[in-house]
Structure 1
Amino acid sequence: MTKNSTQWTKKVMEEKIPLQYDYPRPHLRRKLWLNLNGNWSFTITSIHETFPKKFDRYIRVPFPVESYLSGIQERVDSSMYLWYKLKFQIKSRAWYDGNPLQYRIILHFDKVDYETVVYLNRHIVGLKHLGGYEPFSYDISPYFINYKDNELVVRVWDPSDEWYQPRGKQILDINKRKLIFYTPCSGIWGTVWLERVPLVHIDRLQFQTRLLSTDVLLKYRIDLKSIITTSNDYRSPNKNMKIYSEKNFDKQKKYLLHVKRKEILKKNKINYEKLGFILKINIIQKNKKHLSDFISSKPNIEQEISFPLKDISLWSPENPYLYDIRIDLYQNDIFIEHIDSYIGFRQISICSEPKRICLNDKPYFMFGVLDQG
């Protein structure tokens, strides 16, 4: 233990899989998912090395290299690559039910700082990702092996303040940290996980509430996404490939899900309404009674629905009331998938004289704590 240990440090260190049951994307939940956190093989090399000769230790994902909880607790700099390796297999038949051409396996990284390259079974699965704070995902279906071991390797480079990247107060120079700066947060520092999705699936949810005089207005948008694929996309994993090469980056661009999103949408704009996709939406109270059940035939478009204010329990810190939301996706009469979400009905605004922050049209005193630890 260190002088910075807390009452939770021991508890977290004893967990075989950190954050095992904490769904990493609570606002859009699927039942079929797999947490890949835990002990990964690990090593640090020079940036001039193509691939490490061996992984000589272990790291606890998802904690940054500099942290005590990672088991490494070392400083790194721009001359180093961080290498992670995990062998995993999925034995549950639920992952393989149905036509394998009708679903894809998606690999999610919640946060990795900063530059990330991902390999599965000796194949680069997509473009390198740049950024330390946003989630990103890859379609790994072409390289995934059913029921057998899969080798996942992740290479990370984090130059911190030696590069042009958003980094907050992270800085490598230990002498400057005595001022207002902090130790960097390098490598994987968010949950790594898998999920199975249909070729057309719910990709994003947006909810916004607004109070009217006697009603509550709910604006919502539910985006569908298509993963266009053919049977020719599949590439059998090559276990004998000795060198992890970056030469395949251009060929593999299509397997990165979140690259140039706007350009992709423009090129592959699909009219889901004409194709018969509909969304059945249920908003459910804590007592399991349904507040509202309705159908939307216009995915990827902002819509709205209103409720009488007297029927709504407004959210506040004193009354943190959340409604469950269940969404089923159909194409005509064929069920595609189910997801779960939630919402709190509330409105934050500037109101009253003099102007103040208001919650649900009433002045609300803001009291916050600045934690710089």
Structure 2
Amino acid sequence: MIDRKEYPRPQLVRKEWINLNGIWDFAFDDQNKGLEEKWFNQSQVFNQNINVPFAYQTELSTIGDTAFHDIVWYRREFEVPKSWEEKRIILHFGAVDYRAWVYINEQLVGFHEGGHVSFSFDITHYVTGGKETLVVRVEDPSTDETIPRGKQYWVEQSDSIWYTRTTGIWQTVWLEPVSSSHLSKVRFTPDVDNGEIKLDFEVNGDYQGKKAEVEIRFKDELIAKDCIDIHERFNKRTIHLYNRKIFRTGFHHDGWNWTPENPNLFDVKLILRDNQQVLDQIDSYFGMRKIHTENGMIYLNNKPYYQKLVLDQGYWPEGLLTAPSDEDLKKDIELAKEMGFNGCRKHQKVEDPRFLYWADQLGFLVWGECAASASYSEDAVARLTREWFEIIERDYNHPSIVAWVPLNESWGIPGVRADKQEQHHSLAMYHMIHSIDTTRLVISNDGWEMTKSDICAVHNYNHGNKDEAAKYEAFKESIVTKENIITSQPAKRKIYANGFEYRGEPIILTEFGGIGFKLGEDSGWGYTSVSNKEEFISDYKRVMEAVYTSKALHGYCYTQLTDVEQEINGLLTYNREPKCELSEIKKINDMWHQEIVKN
């Protein structure tokens, strides 16, 4: 039995916790009678078992049923250790798609809407000290096109770019004890220019007379230490990192910054005390990383940086949105780096924090993206906006994330080219995200019909097959200069929505390629196709040579890392089998350096 036992929240680690993954009781509620019949206090109705955190549609769940079941129920028992008796007990869910009602011992403790990020409930007053019963009711409307669903299809059979749905619990469920006074909402904001880290944190419970101690280490060496007297619930502190000791050793602070080539991280210990008693202790980390645009280029830590990204859908054949193991998350990054990519655009999915942890540790840029709705409505606007507040709160501290992508290819805003209401939504998402996160770039509508955006992000799959010489030349011409890109309509869509225009932002080709190549018995489609490994390498080189001749592009994102279901346009198969020697892809990706020098 495959399970997920690794610590689920790597940016805020406490020593004590209990993993609730594994075999749970399970039931479909196709007639929606569970609430009326009070299934939260009837164990006999749970007639199946499921392996949490894998959705019932997956093989790893042990159910593997891809039919529509819009309401499902989960049940399991657990015990709280005696040593936790004086603590508050917090129940955490990594992600549940889409609406969740949570019961402890037949009592409703909370509700959450939003299928892609974590949430938690304080269940202290609901547990009894013996065997506790946890029940979760989930609603996931299969055909509702106004909920953020991303690539999850609203038709039962997968087709084209749409995949099998994920319903219910799909990330780790766990318990942890905390003191009545404890730390929360810890946020690190790096200031690379001044060599400072800005610390924000909240103290839940009684904060009067408490102290917070901060220790910051780099490669096991103590760099900074501070003690903060707590006078209010929300606290801020700025800590200077580059002290005289560093300069005395001749080690310039540039060597401390986080980059894909040198993913330097600072380890942090944050302790909350009441006199000499330790009330809470958190282990975390941060990276000194700055991303900004200037003169039509992207700068990483004040140096021009060419992004070589790969589109990553984050699907697995046995687990769909849930990676079979933590090692699988790590392996995807390692394979991408082995091919010469320095980052990914995580497409239509808010990825598991464990992926972001490995991106931080291994050095891998991430463009964070949320699942889109398929249709526009005021409800869809509200749902997407709420999820983005939760996404940024959860993932703010990851240095690997350098951009946010709230909208993609006018999904959920089909009339944005001319519709003022939908344009306001695009603008609102851009400004809202910047209002709560000043450390990253925001792309308003990746692909085309952009409003205000920090990057001009263009999708163009018109490179044609190798025997379509005229189409290939037209593709090269369409991306060779800024003017050609801005005036192009590669999907018969304008690059900017009506009333908006290019204002000098960096231009990146954020979707292209998608060369279809099947191995073995695989079947499916790609944007172009080849029939063997030699043709695959040759065609990849042909497409990339067109990109490298562009005098306007400041990066790219190739489609895509892996095959997904009926799509066979990955560099790897769905099972992560390379379609050619990875060194050949890296050799082609590394050609960019030669072309830049040449041009």
Query: Where does residue 575 of structure 2 map in the other structure?
Result: none
2:151 aligned residue (155, 169, 177): 169
User: Secondary structure at 1:178's aligned position in 2?
Assistant: coil
1:140 lines up with 2:130 in the alignment: no
Query: Where does residue 303 of structure 1 map in the other structure?
Result: 237
Query: Where does residue 290 of structure 1 map in the other structure?
Result: 222
1:29 lines up with 2:13 in the alignment: yes
Q: 1:121/1:56 Cα in 2 relative to 1: closer, same or farther (>3 Å)?
A: same
1:222 lines up with 2:201 in the alignment: yes
| 1:146-181 per-position Cα deviation (integer Å, ceiling 9, x unaligned) | 2x3211111111103326421123223135x42322
| 1:164-201 per-position Cα deviation (integer Å, ceiling 9, x unaligned) | 421123223135x4232222110100100000011121
After superposition, residues 202-213 of structure 1 pair within 5 angstroms as: 202-212=183-193
1:115 lines up with 2:104 in the alignment: no
Which structure dedicates a bigger proportion of its chain to helix?
2
1:361 lines up with 2:310 in the alignment: no
1:63 aligned residue (49, 54, 71): 54
The letter for the 2-side match of 1:107 is L
1:86 lines up with 2:76 in the alignment: yes
Please give the alpha-carbon distance, in whole angstroms, between the structure 1 residues aligned to 2:76 and 2:258.
42
Q: 1:198/1:142 Cα in 2 relative to 1: closer, same or farther (>3 Å)?
A: same
| 1:267-288 per-position Cα deviation (integer Å, ceiling 9, x unaligned) | xxx8x4xx122210000122x2
Contact 2:145–2:154 (Cα < 8 Å) also in 1: no
Query: Where does residue 278 of structure 2 map in the other structure?
Result: 335
Query: Between the two proteins, what is the percent identity of the paired residues?
Result: 36
The letter for the 1-side match of 2:163 is Y
User: Secondary structure at 2:213's aligned position in 1?
Assistant: strand
Moved more, 45-54 or 31-40: 45-54
Which structure dedicates a bigger proportion of its chain to strand?
1
Please give the alpha-carbon distance, in whole angstroms, between the structure 1 residues aligned to 2:195 and 2:178.
33
* Shift in Å, 1:332: 4.1
Q: Name the Cα RMSD after superposition.
A: 2.1
The letter for the 2-side match of 1:295 is C
* Shift in Å, 1:29: 0.9
| 1:296-354 per-position Cα deviation (integer Å, ceiling 9, x unaligned) | 22561333122328356211111112121001101344431111101111211213x4x
Moved more, 25-34 or 305-314: 305-314
The letter for the 2-side match of 1:349 is H
1:106 lines up with 2:95 in the alignment: no
Aligned residues: 296
Please give the alpha-carbon distance, in whole angstroms, between the structure 1 residues aligned to 2:145 and 2:72.
17
User: Secondary structure at 2:143's aligned position in 1?
Assistant: helix
Please give the alpha-carbon distance, in whole angstroms, between the structure 2 residues aligned to 1:217 and 1:290.
15
Contact 1:27–1:341 (Cα < 8 Å) also in 2: yes
After superposition, residues 175-254 of structure 1 pair within 5 angstroms as: 177-212=158-193, 215-226=194-205
Query: Where does residue 72 of structure 1 map in the other structure?
Result: 63
Please give the alpha-carbon distance, in whole angstroms, between the structure 2 residues aligned to 1:358 and 1:122.
54
Higher Rg of the two aligned structures = 2
Contact 1:209–1:347 (Cα < 8 Å) also in 2: yes
Structure 2: unaligned runs, 5 residues or longer: 247-251, 314-563, 565-599
Question: TM (normalized to structure 2)?
Answer: 0.47
